[in-house]
Homo-oligomer: A and B are copies of this chain.
Amino acid sequence: MNTHEKILTTAAFLFQKNGYHATGLNEIIKESATPKGSLYYHFPNGKEELVAATIKLMGDKIQHQIEEELAKNSDPVQAIKEFILDLARNFYEKDQENCFSISLLALETVSISESLRKTCIEVYDLWTDTYYQKLISSGFSSEKATELSLILQLMIEGAITISLIRNDTTMLVAVAEKIPILLQK
């Protein structure tokens, strides 16, 4: 892993876990064992450029993971339910591979800059579209799929948020159980 990647993955982990303001550049360079000069060489516009890059990185990575999980089951109800139960199962392994929420970052960006906020919205749109495609490919109408994919996005992000705050996966499981009634045609 080169310096650029090391900085990016470390930053992604810390930003996602502790948020933008609670994560210092010094913490990032210490954790990634890279000098400050390198950080500003690879991200000349500093913290904001770095966090924008990590949001995009996480957005893409998570989208692929969602896609992968949903592909395991042709039935969308079962696929999405299993995906959420999987989130619950892996919840307590808090490593780089197990972050499926950018809520903290996204909420912070609202009062940081419009461009960062926009970056977060694009990530949410990307994830929502992944659910949308699954629903479409299972015969849902475009209208229904649009509405339901947004609700799915909301419930999953909400369940992760509450699980993080409570440090307890009950709500993830509860949402998983609600998927059938939510997706009834």
**Complex alpha-carbon distance, A170 and B151, angstroms:** 11
CB nearest neighbor in B for A14: B111
Q: Judge whether B19 and A108 touch: CB under 8 Å.
A: yes
- For window 145-174 of A, CB contacts with B under 8 Å fall at 147, 150-151, 153-155, 157-159, 161-162, 164-167, 170-171, 174
- For window 2-23 of A, CB contacts with B under 8 Å fall at 17-19, 21-22
In the complex, A124 has a CB within 8 A of chain B: yes
Q: Judge whether B117 and A165 touch: CB under 8 Å.
A: yes
CB distance from A57 to the nearest CB of B (A): 19
Q: Judge whether B111 and A22 touch: CB under 8 Å.
A: yes
In the complex, A71 has a CB within 8 A of chain B: no
In the complex, A103 has a CB within 8 A of chain B: yes
> A interface, how many residues as a size bin?
35 or more
**Complex alpha-carbon distance, A182 and B181, angstroms:** 8
In the complex, A39 has a CB within 8 A of chain B: no
Residue numbers in B under 8 Å from A174 (CB-CB): 147, 150-151
- Could you list 16 A-B pairs, sorted by A, with CB under 8 Å? A22-B111, A103-B103, A103-B107, A103-B161, A104-B104, A106-B161, A107-B164, A107-B165, A109-B165, A117-B165, A124-B165, A154-B155, A154-B162, A155-B155, A157-B161, A181-B182
Closest 9 CB pairs of A and B: A158-B158, A21-B21, A104-B107, A154-B158, A18-B111, A106-B165, A21-B22, A154-B162, A110-B164
